[in-house]
């Protein structure tokens, strides 16, 4: 069975899958959603240094290739690889990742050499956004913005079935939009960046300080909000207000049809979405309100997106050229 390798490299773990590549693109049929044939995980092992991480990626992919050949009658026809940090997707280079310690690694060429098939390299959040936009919460939306609220905050700008990388691979960094000028310092060098206020880590920190329990995190804060704790409501609303300020800047610039919010903080569900929709609605004047929805694919988005990148290599067909 024709299939591709999908590999999503995170700071602590790697998620991989073999994804069916039968996309039935002839006769104007829209691409089928990817079928996951086989899934696997492995520790990233970043404490061993950047070279060892690269070797682990290459070895893991080669094992997946062997697994596919054995179980599906043929080896994978292409591979997609999603990595964190700054990624030059056009040239297939992992430019920089603070948490993995690498600089200018030609990952696409290295993996294509090892596997002997075409490889696509993507940025983890943009790749996850590609999956959310095409087959997840934004399915069918011609313009969307995907914003995962995790350790930090990033964004993926979806336009007509693809995700905008920018001229230098930096597009979508909404976490470093300044929402509180002169506010909390950010490792990026600015003060008052959105991710200092509305990431899951920032809310965890704020709630731990406010409730006096250093172990308390954002999920505990959401529970306390749901039970009506006024202290928690204050901490939560500060995060929601900062987030709404950042999102309104983004939607004023981009005019997305759908705003997909993911990551750890979005797991709070309506505890987040109800006040967030209200806060965004209060801020817009002339702008059109997008629908604000939770991400649908969870932590498999990056891996599914890597599979879509690989399938795109085989199809050479822009999904927007396919008329349903």
* Footprint on this chain of Zn ion (rule: CB under 5 A): 176, 186, 188, 190, 193
Query: At what angle are helices 301-315 and 124-135 packed, to 10 degrees?
Result: 80
- Give the pair of three-digit tokens for residue 8: 């999503």
Nearer to Zn ion, 181 or 228 (CB): 181
Nearer to Zn ion, 241 or 312 (CB): 241
E strand or H helix at 43: strand 36-43
Per the listing, tokens 């505990």 go with 220
For the bound state, the minimum distance from the C-beta of residue 199 to Zn ion, rounded and expressed in Å, comes to: 11
Residue 267 and residue 219 in contact, taking contact as beta carbons nearer than 8 Å: yes
For the bound state, the minimum distance from the C-beta of residue 25 to Zn ion, rounded and expressed in Å, comes to: 41
Ramachandran region, residue 85 (left: φ > 0; alpha: ψ -120 to 50; beta: rest): left
For the bound state, the minimum distance from the C-beta of residue 289 to Zn ion, rounded and expressed in Å, comes to: 27
Residue 19 and residue 305 in contact, taking contact as beta carbons nearer than 8 Å: no
Ramachandran region, residue 256 (left: φ > 0; alpha: ψ -120 to 50; beta: rest): beta
Nearer to Zn ion, 176 or 311 (CB): 176
For the bound state, the minimum distance from the C-beta of residue 9 to Zn ion, rounded and expressed in Å, comes to: 23
- Give the pair of three-digit tokens for residue 295: 């991400």
Nearer to Zn ion, 190 or 291 (CB): 190
For the bound state, the minimum distance from the C-beta of residue 159 to Zn ion, rounded and expressed in Å, comes to: 25
For the bound state, the minimum distance from the C-beta of residue 96 to Zn ion, rounded and expressed in Å, comes to: 15
Produce one character per residue of 138-171: b if its CB has 16 or more CB atoms within 10 Å, e if not.
beebebbbbbbbbbbbbbbbbeebbbebeeebeb
Nearer to Zn ion, 202 or 271 (CB): 202
For the bound state, the minimum distance from the C-beta of residue 128 to Zn ion, rounded and expressed in Å, comes to: 20
Nearer to Zn ion, 49 or 187 (CB): 187
Nearer to Zn ion, 106 or 183 (CB): 183
Which residues touch 193 (CB under 8 Å, ≥6 apart)?
175, 176, 177, 178, 179, 184, 186
């Amino acid at each position: 069975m024709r299939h591709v390798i999908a590999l999503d490299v995170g700071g602590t773990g790697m998620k991989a899958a073999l994804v069916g590549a039968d996309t039935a693109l002839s006769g104007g049929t829209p691409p089928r959603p990817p079928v996951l044939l086989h899934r696997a995980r492995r520790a990233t092992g970043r404490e061993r240094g950047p070279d060892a991480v690269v070797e682990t990626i290459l070895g893991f992919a080669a094992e997946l290739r062997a697994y596919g050949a054995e179980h599906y009658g043929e080896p994978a026809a292409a591979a997609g690889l999603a990595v964190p940090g700054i990624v030059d997707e056009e040239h297939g280079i992992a430019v920089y990742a603070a948490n993995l310690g690498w600089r200018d690694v030609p990952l696409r060429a290295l993996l294509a050499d090892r596997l002997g098939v075409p490889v696509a390299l993507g940025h983890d959040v943009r790749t996850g956004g590609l999956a959310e936009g095409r087959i997840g919460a934004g399915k069918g939306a011609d313009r969307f913005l995907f914003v995962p609220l995790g350790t930090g905050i990033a964004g993926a700008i979806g336009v007509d079935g693809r995700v905008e990388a920018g001229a230098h691979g930096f597009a979508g960094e909404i976490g470093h939009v300044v929402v509180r000028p002169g506010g909390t310092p950010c490792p990026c060098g600015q003060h008052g960046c959105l991710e200092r206020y509305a990431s899951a880590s920032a809310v965890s920190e704020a709630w731990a300080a406010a409730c006096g329990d250093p172990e308390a995190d954002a999920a505990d804060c959401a529970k306390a909000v749901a039970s009506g704790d006024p202290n928690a409501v204050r901490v939560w609303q500060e995060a929601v207000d900062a987030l709404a300020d950042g999102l309104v800047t983004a939607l004023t610039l981009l005019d997305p049809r759908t705003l997909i919010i993911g990551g750890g903080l979005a797991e709070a569900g309506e505890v987040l979405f109800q006040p967030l929709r209200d806060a965004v609605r209060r801020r817009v004047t002339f702008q059109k309100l997008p629908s604000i929805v939770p991400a649908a694919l969870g932590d498999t988005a990056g891996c599914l997106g890597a599979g879509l990148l690989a399938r795109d290599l085989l199809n050479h067909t822009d999904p927007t050229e396919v008329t349903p």
